Amino acid sequence: MNKVFIENLQENQNIDSLFLVQDKRVLETRNGKPYLRIRLQDKTGEIEGRVWEQANEHARHFKINDYVRVKGIVTQFQGELQVNISSIHKVPVEKVDPEDFLPVGKKDPDEMIRSLEKLIDSLKDADYKALLSAIFGDESFMKLFARSPAAKSMHHAWIGGLLEHTLSVARLAERIVKHYDREGLPLNRDLLITGAVLHDVGKTRELASMPSFEYTTEGKLIGHLIIGVEMIDKAAAGIPGFPEKKLQQIKHLVLSHHGDYAFGSPKLPMTLEAIALHFIDNLDAKLMGVYSHIRKHASEDSDWSPYHRIYGQMFYGAEIPELDNEEI
């Protein structure tokens, strides 16, 4: 059976293909008859499915994050495609290729890893370099970091997204340092880059990368800011004589980079480097998040994106080109 990807589905198309279950709910029609609403996913997108007959019976045979084989016909409802499902069965994990069901970044992960290692090697401060080397020198951790998403859905929500976002923030930090140095405002380059590289390191434990981008129990209870600080503390403890003041500065950058109590930061940015990191991170996340939203909903029928629930607005996208990912 050949995989049919969601981005290629068309109205009135009969399908028999594999998908990942993102959500499922048994609801009722106006007449009180139960039906099953399912959110299906693969690496190209998402689509809703409906099971109208024997909803409760079907719902018992699979769970969220299971792989399923779906037979049905693609229809259109309120301007959106959906699948009227005639048959749905759970498929064993060993029978699928997980890479078919999660979005993957376009940039070469090996090239990004080399770029990150080069950036770490450029640090002149021996303490900051030792800390980053202690964390990213662990091969198994680097593999996890390189395949992790940066978010569940908001920005860089794909395999490799965390590494891509981290590199982007660190490169912006380097440019910001050079700019303000010319303006007579000195920023500590090595501290800011260290904070940029570490600011989201806790997301490797906050978010699962398989079979879908869901929050872990640790992520829900503790969150990536605190997890990241715990990871930094552990790495610093293994470096003899690591300066306490430098450790405090780095942890402050991580804890304050969301910039506001309302957005989950337990501390507000209180240093020049912390202020810079907050705005750089916010810029990169917002721009990529909005760009992804525009591209995901690009249509020949409209120059405007659909309403974005988080940002509370639509975005104009008629002149937005496809992202060029050649530069690593």
Q: pLDDT tens digit string along 93-136? A: 888 887 788 877 888 899 999 999 999 999 999 999 999 999 99
| C-alpha span between 118 and 38 (Å, rounded) | 45
Confidence of residue 158 (pLDDT cuts 50, 70, 90): confident
Q: Is the pLDDT of residue 161 over 50?
A: yes
Cβ count within 10 A of residue 321: 6
Please report the pLDDT score of residue 303 as a whole number.
Answer: 83
- HSE at residue 263, side-chain half, CA atoms within 13 A, is 11
pLDDT value of residue 326: 42
Inter-residue contact 296 to 308 (CB < 8 Å): no
> Do 192 and 277 form a contact (C-beta atoms < 8 A)?
yes
- Would you state the CATH architecture of domain 6-99? Beta Barrel (2.40)
Could you check whether 6-99 and 103-294 share the same CATH topology? no
Which residues face 20 on adjacent strands?
41, 67
* Proportion of the chain in helix, strand, coil states, percent, rounded to 5: 45, 20, 35
DSSP type of residue 312: T
Q: What is the pLDDT of residues 18-34, one digit of tens each?
A: 999 988 999 999 889 99
pLDDT of residue 323: 56
pLDDT interval class at 141 (50, 70, 90): very high
Q: 103-294 — its CATH code? A: 1.10.3210
DSSP H helix total and E strand total for the chain: 11, 5
Residues near 199 by beta carbon (within 8 Å), at least 6 away in sequence: 166, 169, 228, 253, 254, 257, 277, 281
Please state the separation of Cα 248 from the chain's center in Å.
28
Q: In this predicted model, which residue has the larger pLDDT, 301 or 306?
A: 306
Q: Is the Cβ–Cβ distance between 190 and 123 less than 8 Å?
A: yes
Domain extents for the chain? 6-99, 103-294
**Mean pLDDT confidence for 297-320:** 77
Lowest mean pLDDT among 5-9, 177-181, 239-243: 5-9
Q: Which ranges of 84-187 would DSSP assign to H, the alpha helix?
A: 109-121, 126-136, 139-147, 161-182
pLDDT interval class at 327 (50, 70, 90): very low
